[in-house]
C-alpha cells in the first residue's frame, strides 16, 4: 500500500489475483460505503459491471 512517497505492507489472509494492489481511503467523500482510512483491494484486470466501485486517477501522478 502506498502512503505519499513510501510503501507500507499489510498482511492479508486471502490469495490475490495477479496485479492486485491496495489503496487506503482519505477523507469522507465515499461515505457510507468507505470510511476514512479503509483499505480496499483493487483488481485492475477484472472487467467491471454496473454498480461496481471503480478507481480512477486524476492528473499524471
Beta strands in 1-61 (DSSP E): 2-3, 6-7, 21-24, 39-42
Residue-level pLDDT at 56: 83
Domain edges within the chain = 1-49
Q: Which three cell numbers stand for residue 17?
A: 489475483
The answer for residues whose C-beta is within 8 angstroms of residue 32's C-beta and 6 or more apart is none
Instruction: Provide φ and ψ at 42, rounded to 5°.
Output: -110, 130
Residue 61 above 60 pLDDT? no
* pTM of the predicted structure, to 2 decimals: 0.63
The per-residue pLDDT for 5 is 60
pLDDT score for 25? 84
Residues 2-59 have pLDDT tens digits of: 555 667 777 888 888 888 888 888 888 788 888 988 888 888 888 999 999 888 877 7
Amino acid at each position: 500500500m502506498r502512503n505519499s512517497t513510501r510503501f507500507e505492507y499489510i498482511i492479508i489472509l486471502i490469495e490475490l489475483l495477479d496485479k492486485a494492489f491496495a489503496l487506503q481511503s482519505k477523507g469522507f467523500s465515499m461515505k457510507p460505503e468507505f470510511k476514512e482510512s479503509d483499505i480496499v483491494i483493487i483488481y485492475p484486470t477484472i472487467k467491471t459491471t454496473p454498480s461496481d466501485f471503480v478507481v480512477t486517477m486524476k492528473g499524471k501522478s
